[in-house]
Amino acid sequence: MAIEIKSPREIDAMRVVSAMAAETLLLVGEKLRAGMSTDDINTIVHEDTIRRGARPSPLNYRGFPKSVCTSVNDVVCHGIPGAQILRDGDIVNVDVTSFYGGFHGDTSATFYIGTPSVQAKKVTEIARVALELGIAEVKEGARLGDIGAAIQEYVEAQGCSVVRDFVGHGIGRKFHEDPQVKHYGKRGTGERLRAGMVFTIEPMVNLGRFEVVVDEKDDWTVTTVDGSLSAQFEHTLVVTKTGHEVLTRRAQPLRGSENIASSAVLV
Angle 166-231-4 from CA coordinates, rounded to 5°: 40
Residue ranges in the chain assigned as alpha helix (H): 8-31, 38-51, 118-136, 144-157
In a domain, 204, yes or no: yes
Residue ranges in 99-244 assigned as alpha helix (H): 118-136, 144-157
- Residue 97's domain comprises 8-256
In a domain, 266, yes or no: no
Residues 201 and 241: their CA atoms lie apart, in Å, by: 19
Number of domain units in the chain: 1
Write down the pLDDT at residue 258.
Answer: 87
In a domain, 264, yes or no: no
In a domain, 151, yes or no: yes
Residues 93 and 83: their CA atoms lie apart, in Å, by: 16
CATH (domain of 229): 3.90.230.10
In a domain, 265, yes or no: no
In a domain, 267, yes or no: no
In a domain, 61, yes or no: yes
Burial of 199 (0-12, 13-18, 19+ CB in 10 A): buried
SS3 (DSSP) at 12: helix
Write down the pLDDT at residue 2.
Answer: 87
In a domain, 263, yes or no: no
- CA torsion 54-60-66-67 (nearest 10°) is -20
Residues 176 and 161: their CA atoms lie apart, in Å, by: 24
Residues 168 and 199: their CA atoms lie apart, in Å, by: 7
Task: Note if the bond before 179 is cis, omega within 30 degrees.
Answer: yes
- What is the dihedral sign for C-alpha 94, 221, 75, 208? negative
SS3 (DSSP) at 44: helix
Write down the pLDDT at residue 259.
Answer: 75
Consecutive 10-residue averages of pLDDT for the chain (267 residues):
93 98 98 98 98 98 98 98 98 98 98 96 98 98 98 98 98 98 97 98 98 97 98 98 97 90 39
